Structure 1
Amino acid sequence: MTAYGTWPSPITPRLVAEAAVGIGDPQVSGGAAYWLESRPAEGGRVTLFKLVGKQAVELTPNPYSVRSRVHEYGGGAYLPTDSGVFFVNDRGQNVHRIATDGGISPVTDSPSSVRYADFCFDAARRRLIAVTEIHGDGEPENALAAIHIDDGRVALLHQGHDFYAAPRVSADGDELLFIAWDHPNMPWDGTQLLRCRLDGDVIGEAAVIAGGARESVMQPSWAPDGAVLYISDRSGYWNLHRLDESGDGSVLADDADYGGPPWQFGQRSYACLNERFIAACRHGQGGQDLVLIDCQSGFASPLLEDTAGCGQLSVHENDIYLLAAHSDRPTEFVRLNPGSGDTTTVAEPPPPEVNPTYFIAPERIAYPTRDGEQAYAYLYRPHNPDHSSGSEKPPLLTLCHGGPTGAASPALKLLVQFYTSRGWLVVDVDYRGSAGYGRAYREALNGRWGELDLSDCEDAVYHLAAQGEADPARAAIRGGSAGGYTVLRALTAGNVFRAGASHYGIGDLTALARDTHKFESRYLDALLGSDEALRERSPINHLDGLNCPVIFFQGAEDRIVPPNQAQAMVAALRAKGLPVAYLEYPGEGHGFRDGANIAQSIGAEYAFFCRVFGLPVAEGLPDIEVENL
């Protein structure tokens, strides 16, 4: 037998980094399938593919990279049309067109301070309508813009709101739908759905047809019969609604979310097969699945139940195209026939070079919190077909997702399998504030960030220790961005965790509110609410409570959580003489894209935890410097 936490495993840091190759944003246009593929081996470049026959053809060779930087998080970076495929090139942020012969040419000639995202095609006027973000002195300006594809002329169509999303032209070209919202709201707090007439290069007066300060609406579209479809959480859950001449009502009233927080543009969690049936992704407390909604009966029937999540739906000739996630293999782009239930893989990333017998499926758990409520998590047990341990309890790694308005996912994550195959127990926590459980659960964190997320993570450890599952003396915590904040908060305001890893996390909330980008510049208003709360819940102001080692990972080009956040925490830990390690990666932003950096950071994190817990450090891991240890 081999001790927990020390099992040799074929799942290496390099293998985890290679698995960062992912399929994203699949679309179908004119019967042709398109998708994006991330390339960590090429510095995180994102390239566009088209299925020609049975052959995947790359449309954007190096040095092109398909990526929008609107809101920094981007999304909605390409659109296939009958007049060519249009995309945003990361370098310069201009819009380019791919012709039918494969030639690529720029459409816009804007300065790099102007960005575009979330396109729709106005065929009658030969123009794209998109969200634009114009950077200059002061806060960036967001607007809707018309981009004329023949001469590259850009005209602003609608201004006045702080944010815009999802412009969608009707099939007859006469009307436009779009989403808008204003500070201090985030799009999951309150948005408006507006509708206006199109007349030449101008638009008519926009009327609000749904939404408000306390209602989050998103993903508008035009139904085949001309009705307006959209997702709203007015019921307490993101449900699908229909607006037509007879009125406005829910397509299906359900205590489940049919959409997620729109951190990126271009989300598509439903698609119409015809006037009667709609395919939709459902996220309920029992998990995630794909369902077929009958608009006449108001009932939903399952289409895919063996997935770990789905999204980015399109429909062509009665077939549904979507991303399907799995717990035992990478996410793939599939075609589903709803009549027969048959699925066909359109595109998939290369499988990891490891036998799937080393993977362990997640268990969905609910556990009690100290205040009498309930929180949720995915639990991954130690698993390796080549090794076992005795009666000792395994070390525990608690994962904190970002956002904090994000969610854990049961989809295959090789990082998790990296740890479980080495004899670690891993718990991926959906603390209160997470998406996927309705508005009340999501808003439970308002005013309580740095409290409930912390206590829910701690209570997961207490629960697992009480069940005899984990060794609480070897409990570590890991998170990125807002999850990194929870890590630092847990280590400065609690004593449950014995080590932590903060990936581009937040140490100084006051500095974050001052320095972060426009999209999140008022996010803390709801999460914390006052300058006093910012100071009180900033980990950097509570270093007297920190008595365990911490490792920091930071992108040098991060504009969302700037490097000064981690640097200030590291300096304070050094001054206090506490064990600390700091790794900064040139060229990386908020989330690492380069494969070599991903692999190095994973190996460094594991080596750090091994040193802290007195476990032997396996060969091939980075020899990191831990000060004061």
Structure 2
Amino acid sequence: MPEISPFGTWRSDITTDLITQGAVSLGQVGVDGDDIYWTELRSWEAGRTVLVRQNAKGERVDMTPTPMNVRSRVHEYGGLCFVTGNGGAWFVNGADNRIYRADGAGAASPLTRKGDASFADLILDEGRERLIAVREDFSGNGESSNSIVAVGFDGTVTVLAEGADFYAFPRLSPDGADLAWIEWRHPNMPWDGSELRLAAFDAAGKLTDPVTIAGGMRESVFQPGWSPGGELYYVSDRSGFWNLYRAGEPERHYAMDAECGLPLWQFGMCTYAFLDEGRAVLTYAVDGEWKLGILDLGSGSLEPVESDYVSFAWMIAHGGAVWFVGGLADAPDQLVEWRPSANAWTVLRRSSDTDLDPASISKAETICFPTQEGRHAYAYFYPPANAGFQAPEGERPPLIVKGHGGPTGQSSNALALKIQYWTSRGFAVVDVNYGGSTGYGRDYRQRLDGNWGVVDVEDCVNAARFLADQGMVDGDRMAITGGSAGGFTVLSALTFHDVFKAGCSAYGIGDLEALTRDTHKFESRYLDRLVGEWPEQADLYRRRSPIHHTELLSCPVIFLQGADDKVVPPNQAESMVAALKEKGLPVAYLLFDGEGHGFRRAENVCRALEAELSFYAQVFGFDPADEIKPVRIENL
């Protein structure tokens, strides 16, 4: 029989060690003949990302020895930083930003020279004995410069395309004659407006007479790709949804009221892959829920595919097989090989081999709730779940409201052990896809235009109120947590509303003016659309910034910050902490050396979770079952 114990005090098998030790974050996937490649972020190896190869016999080898870290600095968020071919792989090493060649037989050898540039979105131009990549050059005195370059196998770097502020998705036609790519300019982010460009190579391997195929300042283009027969496809949101198109005369639109695109935070994000000349595997979101299907490119008919997966990342196809990193609602992520002709599914790698008790897993429940101006918003609700415990009769659980980062992003209903950490201890969690989130169409995404710090906050507040009014949570014990842009939502909710009794801001934003002045190139004009033009609307920036309204704060806050964060520097958190200390409000602050924007090292991931638990325990007045180091809260 379950033990009777108050919410928050339950013993749980989902420990911080379980989350970090032995668990990996599965990333980019590649194929070369019968060999499969993928990346693993290993928190127990100081948070480095390793390139792994598996052959047809199932034998695995790490291609990148310690301390090499497969990671790119381009746009700070990187992505797609290896490419396979010729029995090995080329990859970007995060420590020195150089491209290296690895064949698994010995030490990796450098291809590019040391310098102030980083590379991403690598593809192989085998016929010309070179790679093609996006380069970001930090050597100038002002803003970094971006371009598409060719990197010869001798290390020579040649610029192919330049002049735009940003580039992504260089994609070579099957015959090697043409290159497609997307580019965009300030103040746009790629999901606001971008252009699909196409150019042919001359005899010297340079691009000639580029033309614009699609896109513009108000149309977002995503993932250009070539079919095996040499036809160019891409995703555009001109219809109101990110849909697949085929370029040419006549152009073909595969119309559906569903999202087939993603916000391009990292290079290489993808939603489709070609099975053969006539079919493509497609992932698409209907009201935020991701599905899988096979699209007949001739008839336009879509055949839904039944599977247990609720998310699909880094998808590629080759030789009639498909590989992707799949998320499940009740088990850790998996690297999957799927052969549609036989409907055969093979799990090549699990992000964690831990067997979890199904009765102790909280599955996401989709909720749609009313919010401001007669609109509705969406969230995933996770009730407490632990097979060994139940709460005293009549007690309602404390609630943690989670706001995702971005803010242009989306919460997933795939299993997240960091959410289960809370639900298995007796907390309820609601993960809010506030207005501005992706997965619901362009109109929903644009709700945040000019309204960051308003719409996202109102939706998080209304999600909490909805659950409290339904009797599903304790309205007197509601906290809000979030990282990066989600941290700004936290601080804004605590400053301008009085619904929450505590908050946790992880590398969050307290001062929008400081963010505009200090952040990196990729996001340097992001707030033009989310808030207003800077400095013309400086007053609005100050009105929206929690740092200027600390007199309205009245509840405890914990701040978690990386010392090396270039996206949201530590001075953001430290200014807020100083203001709260001066006001006499309870406040805790943890600064993690060696961490950037997000925590990667196992010991820091563990400490951050345990500190947040200790913080809630002290604020809400319960004794956690875990033996953890209490966090120091000043002014408590």
Alignment TM-score > 0.5, same fold: yes
Cα deviations by residue, 1:162-196 (Å, 9 ceiling, x for unpaired): 00011111111111111110000000000001000
CA contact (8 A) 1:329 1:351 kept: no
- Residue 570 of structure 1: aligned partner: 577
Cα distance between partner residues in 2 of 1:395 and 1:414: 18
Cα distance between partner residues in 1 of 2:158 and 2:299: 44
Cα distance between partner residues in 2 of 1:352 and 1:371: 45
Paired amino acid for 1:617: P
Secondary structure of 2:68 counterpart? coil
Cα distance between partner residues in 2 of 1:27 and 1:386: 42
Cα distance between partner residues in 1 of 2:198 and 2:549: 49
- Residue 541 of structure 1: aligned partner: 548
- Residue 215 of structure 1: aligned partner: 219
For residue 269 of structure 1, report the CA deviation from its aligned partner. Answer: 1.4
For residue 350 of structure 1, report the CA deviation from its aligned partner. Answer: 2.9
Distance 1:328 1:619, change over 3 A: closer
Cα distance between partner residues in 2 of 1:69 and 1:329: 31
2:269 pairs with one of 267, 270, 274 = 267
- Residue 555 of structure 1: aligned partner: 562
- Residue 176 of structure 1: aligned partner: 179
Secondary structure of 1:616 counterpart? coil
Cα distance between partner residues in 2 of 1:617 and 1:272: 51
Cα distance between partner residues in 2 of 1:45 and 1:417: 24
1:188 pairs with one of 188, 191, 199 = 191
- Residue 292 of structure 2: aligned partner: 290
Secondary structure of 2:276 counterpart? coil
Mapping of residues 495-534 of structure 1, within 5 Å? 495-529=498-532, 530-534=537-541
1:429 pairs with one of 403, 428, 432 = 432
For residue 618 of structure 1, report the CA deviation from its aligned partner. Answer: 3.2
- Residue 358 of structure 1: aligned partner: 360
CA contact (8 A) 1:19 1:414 kept: no
Cα deviations by residue, 1:210-253 (Å, 9 ceiling, x for unpaired): 11000100111111121101111111111111013x32221x21
- Residue 78 of structure 2: aligned partner: 74
Paired amino acid for 2:618: R
CA contact (8 A) 2:435 2:448 kept: yes
Cα distance between partner residues in 2 of 1:248 and 1:543: 54
Cα distance between partner residues in 1 of 2:145 and 2:416: 37
Secondary structure of 1:444 counterpart? helix
Cα distance between partner residues in 2 of 1:132 and 1:239: 28
Cα distance between partner residues in 2 of 1:556 and 1:100: 35
- Residue 605 of structure 2: aligned partner: 598
- Residue 351 of structure 2: aligned partner: 349
Cα distance between partner residues in 2 of 1:480 and 1:82: 41
Cα distance between partner residues in 1 of 2:206 and 2:319: 34
CA contact (8 A) 1:190 1:216 kept: yes
Cα distance between partner residues in 1 of 2:627 and 2:426: 18
Cα distance between partner residues in 2 of 1:141 and 1:293: 38
1:4 pairs with one of 7, 21, 35 = 7
For residue 575 of structure 1, report the CA deviation from its aligned partner. Answer: 0.7
Secondary structure of 1:478 counterpart? strand
State how many pairs are aligned.
625
- Residue 440 of structure 1: aligned partner: 443
RMSD of Structure 2 on Structure 1 (CA): 1.3
Cα deviations by residue, 1:102-150 (Å, 9 ceiling, x for unpaired): 5421000131x1100001111121111110000031100001111001x
CA contact (8 A) 2:262 2:270 kept: no
Cα distance between partner residues in 2 of 1:289 and 1:18: 31
Secondary structure of 1:371 counterpart? helix
Secondary structure of 2:155 counterpart? coil
Cα distance between partner residues in 2 of 1:146 and 1:577: 57
Secondary structure of 2:575 counterpart? helix
- Residue 324 of structure 1: aligned partner: 326
Cα distance between partner residues in 2 of 1:271 and 1:158: 26
2:455 pairs with one of 452, 455, 458 = 452
- Residue 582 of structure 1: aligned partner: 589
For residue 619 of structure 1, report the CA deviation from its aligned partner. Answer: 4.1
Cα distance between partner residues in 2 of 1:13 and 1:356: 19
CA contact (8 A) 2:82 2:92 kept: yes
Moved more, 293-302 or 400-409: 293-302
Matched, 1:139 2:151: no
Distance 1:179 1:286, change over 3 A: closer
Cα deviations by residue, 1:6-52 (Å, 9 ceiling, x for unpaired): 11212112222337511111122223211001110011110011112
Seq. identity, %: 46
- Residue 421 of structure 2: aligned partner: 418
Secondary structure of 1:512 counterpart? helix
TM-score, with length taken from structure 2: 0.96
For residue 255 of structure 1, report the CA deviation from its aligned partner. Answer: 1.0
- Residue 370 of structure 2: aligned partner: 368
Paired amino acid for 1:575: E
For residue 533 of structure 1, report the CA deviation from its aligned partner. Answer: 1.8
Matched, 1:34 2:41: no
CA contact (8 A) 2:385 2:424 kept: yes
Cα distance between partner residues in 2 of 1:531 and 1:443: 22
Secondary structure of 1:282 counterpart? strand
For residue 466 of structure 1, report the CA deviation from its aligned partner. Answer: 1.2
For residue 353 of structure 1, report the CA deviation from its aligned partner. Answer: 5.9
Secondary structure of 2:277 counterpart? coil
Matched, 1:468 2:471: yes
Cα distance between partner residues in 2 of 1:198 and 1:31: 31
For residue 295 of structure 1, report the CA deviation from its aligned partner. Answer: 1.6
Paired amino acid for 2:466: H
Matched, 1:616 2:620: no
Secondary structure of 2:212 counterpart? strand
- Residue 17 of structure 2: aligned partner: 14
Q: Which runs of 5+ in 1 are unaligned?
A: none
Matched, 1:115 2:118: yes
Cα distance between partner residues in 1 of 2:296 and 2:279: 5
Cα deviations by residue, 1:247-305 (Å, 9 ceiling, x for unpaired): 2221x211111121010001121101112111011111161111111122212112244
CA contact (8 A) 1:394 1:471 kept: yes
